[in-house]
A and B are shown apart, each in its own frame.
Chain A
Amino acid sequence: MANKLIVESSPHRHKGVFTNNIMLDVLIALLPAVIASAVLFGFRALVLVFVSAAFSLLCEYLFNVITKTRQTVGDLSALVTGVLLALNVPAGIPFYILLIGDFFAIIIVKALFGGIGKNFANPAITARIVLMIAFPSAMATFLEPFYDTVASATPLADKSASYMDLFLGNVSGSIGEVSALALIIGGIYLLCRKVISPIIPLSFIGTVALISFIAGEDPLYAVLSGGLLLGAIFMATDYVTSPVSDRGKWIFGIGCGIITALIRLYGSYPEGVSFSILLMNICTPLIEKIPGRKPFGAKEAGK
């Protein structure tokens, strides 16, 4: 025997699914929404997605190089953030605003907190909110699909679209949030691949529907319009910023739903999805304190 044998602690095998595989699955799941955005808002939407993804990756790469930390672009999480942020902006947004958003998401929200796994808030959500506050008009100037004209208001605000238009995405809004069909396809893919658990999307969407119904609104309209599906399927389910336990996930999802519905009904912003997710991100460490399932055979603690 020439070589030295590796003597490591068991197990000596791995399932073979690593962080980058999971992120790749999320990117695949976002593909229908990206395609839909290109169909609805034209080539510019596609360019927005690619530029945002590439710039996010570059930010992370440079940060790692400059700070001499382990290169983490390989985990693909920066790509996911870049794509998600692009899907959260209107089609006509100036490029520099989107790039500022990417920089903010990757460097301020993620890298400065210690990189993947350490950030307490979802980078794409936080960046979107910052852009909404810093560039209110650019972030609220939505285009009509298929036409390059500026829409008067999103369907969430004026409640004019038909179910079919909402379902397919023939309404104004951020480029990735309008097509319910594309988002649901992506969501089903993530569920089948066991990348996400259904708890957060279902409890989030269900709560919004229920409260809208009680308040006398059309629940189906509430679910299909605005950024609810995009937020509930792709952003509230971010591992890092949502609870790990099933119990915690229920609380998180219902909390997001309540806040979203309340902002939509009573707030001055027509849309509450981003704020609700950010608020619940902040609550996550608290939610995690709630004990999970009792271990098998465990005696009471401290005895």
Chain B
Amino acid sequence: MKKMNSIFISPEKQGGHNITETISLPSELIIPVQQHIGAPPEVKVAVGSEVKKGDILADGDAPMCVPVHAPLNGTVKEIYDFVLSSGVRTRAIKLLVTGAGEDNFAAPKVESKEDFISFVRSIGAVGLGGASFPTHIKLNPQKDVDTLIINAAECEPRITADQREIVENSEGIINGIRLIKKYTGVEKVYIALENREKEEIELVKELIREEEGVFLSLLKPTYPQGAEKVLIYNVTGRIVPEGGLPMDAGVIVMNVSTVGLIGASLISGAPLMRKRITVGGDCLKEHKNIFVPIGTKIKDIAEYFGGYIKEPAAILLGGPMMGQAVYSDEFPIMKNTNAVLFLSEKALGKRKESECIRCGRCIKACPFDLNPVFLADAYENRDEEALKKEHIMLCMECGSCSYVCPASRHLTQSHRLAKTFLKERSAKKNGK
């Protein structure tokens, strides 16, 4: 089997192995209503409404729509237009928090596949690893799937939230696995872990000892091991075709925290209202995991950590390789946020772009055997044909090529722009 290229990033996972703490009650939440890929939901509350923890704030009838719930008790103060860090425009609800609220939810009745899918939708589940794809769609694939891969191989340096999920919610995870196996008919379940996470490996081994068809898949701690297509290839040897989804390779891939959420909610009935996130970076004193209500502002998190010890030059939602930089610390935590990093200029370690020295490092780093330097040049010339011929659309924007480039060329950024460029071109063509 052809080996996929990968790179090694020093983990820097000092800290982040604490029992997850819960942040002190924030006074205000900002809750964007579109927190999934798909149809936008409608706001179901009005300015002035009193909401209780778990109430639906927004929902819609479209199949690709997922509800958003109130994480705490509060009063709706404002409903306004909001731009997500991905550039998507949506509405956001500003909630004045009036109390932590009570956890008295009724456990759902799940007896059939239909029940299961609607239960998954009702708790607001989306891919928690970052993709935020609606989980109820993923669990109802339109093609035959035989394998479920549970992604616990967090490959971004510094992020340990998924590891804590395994330690703290193992019951929920195994519950979730049983449910998904039962209602989707997958025969094999692989829990994919990096081989250096000794504690988690022992735990998972113990957890699945009695389970039939559930296996542990140990992977090298390389980057980007946790990327969907890389994971599928390294666990099953299957290749997702260009433009296809995992189900085209007969696979469902789910983040371990999403599985844990489903398993835990089946017992408690509680929808998705809080997130475990890894908080760190050299601008804070500590590096640890905390639970925050969805909608918590980044500012409140920094405050909980005792403020900045250095002025951050950048704040990232997610890891250093694929995370998104935000404009301000007023930005809220969303369902798919798994980390917040506060980085100083030095930690960013950026340099100006210089001339490509044709060293080939970017090519050797690309998991999909693309030619990043060629693609970047092709984009510079707006060469549509060359971009297509060299399969730009396969690029998953993992950042490996930019990471290794000694000339600091912004290769990944160029690929991202090139993909948008191609999409716009073809949209224009189809429009005429």
Seen from chain A, the residues whose Cβ lies within 8 Å of a Cβ on chain B are: 1-3, 5-19, 21-22, 72, 75, 77, 115-118, 197, 239-240, 244-245, 292-299, 301-302
Q: How far is the CB of A147 from chain B (nearest CB, A)?
A: 41
Mask, B4-24, CB within 8 Å of A = 1, is 100101000000000000000
The answer to whether B408 touches A18 (Cβ under 8 A) is yes
Q: Select the residue from B314, B328, B406, B410 with max chain A CB neighbours within 10 A.
A: B406
Which residues of B in the span 296-316 have a Cβ within 8 Å of any Cβ on A? 299, 311-316
The answer to whether B241 touches A299 (Cβ under 8 A) is yes
Interface of A is mostly: loop
The answer to whether A117 touches B357 (Cβ under 8 A) is yes
The answer to whether A298 touches B407 (Cβ under 8 A) is no
**Which one of B356, B394, B406 lies within 8 Å of A22 (CB-CB)?**
B406
The answer to whether A296 touches B369 (Cβ under 8 A) is yes
The answer to whether B311 touches A295 (Cβ under 8 A) is no
**Which one of A2, A6, A21, A115 lies within 8 Å of B406 (CB-CB)?**
A21
Residues of the A chain whose Cβ atoms lie less than 8 Å from the Cβ of B350 = 8, 14
Bound-complex Cα distance A261 to B242 (A): 46
Residues of the A chain whose Cβ atoms lie less than 8 Å from the Cβ of B370 = 295
The answer to whether B403 touches A11 (Cβ under 8 A) is yes
Looking across the interface, which residue of chain B has its beta carbon closest to that of A3? B311
The answer to whether A295 touches B391 (Cβ under 8 A) is yes
Residues of the B chain whose Cβ atoms lie less than 8 Å from the Cβ of A301 = 388-389, 391
Seen from chain B, the residues whose Cβ lies within 8 Å of a Cβ on chain A are: 2, 4, 7, 9, 157, 229, 233, 239-244, 299, 311-316, 320-329, 343, 345, 348-351, 354-360, 363, 367-371, 373, 388-391, 394, 397, 399-400, 402-404, 406-408, 410, 412-413, 416
**Which one of A1, A9, A11, A297 lies within 8 Å of B241 (CB-CB)?**
A297
Residues of the B chain whose Cβ atoms lie less than 8 Å from the Cβ of A240 = 357-358
Bound-complex Cα distance A8 to B399 (A): 13
Bound-complex Cα distance A297 to B403 (A): 23
Looking across the interface, which residue of chain B has its beta carbon closest to that of A4? B327
The answer to whether A13 touches B320 (Cβ under 8 A) is yes
Residues of the B chain whose Cβ atoms lie less than 8 Å from the Cβ of A5 = 312-315, 325-329
Bound-complex Cα distance A294 to B394 (A): 12
**Which one of A115, A239, A298 lies within 8 Å of B359 (CB-CB)?**
A239
Q: How far is the CB of B27 from chain A (nearest CB, A)?
A: 18
Residues of the A chain whose Cβ atoms lie less than 8 Å from the Cβ of B315 = 5
**Which one of B157, B320, B358, B406 lies within 8 Å of A18 (CB-CB)?**
B406
The answer to whether A19 touches B242 (Cβ under 8 A) is no
Bound-complex Cα distance A9 to B325 (A): 7
The answer to whether B233 touches A12 (Cβ under 8 A) is no
Q: How far is the CB of A121 from chain B (nearest CB, A)?
A: 13
Q: Select the residue from A6, A72, A115 with max chain B CB neighbours within 10 A.
A: A6
Bound-complex Cα distance A9 to B323 (A): 9
Residues of the A chain whose Cβ atoms lie less than 8 Å from the Cβ of B324 = 10
Residues of the A chain whose Cβ atoms lie less than 8 Å from the Cβ of B390 = 295
The answer to whether A297 touches B239 (Cβ under 8 A) is yes
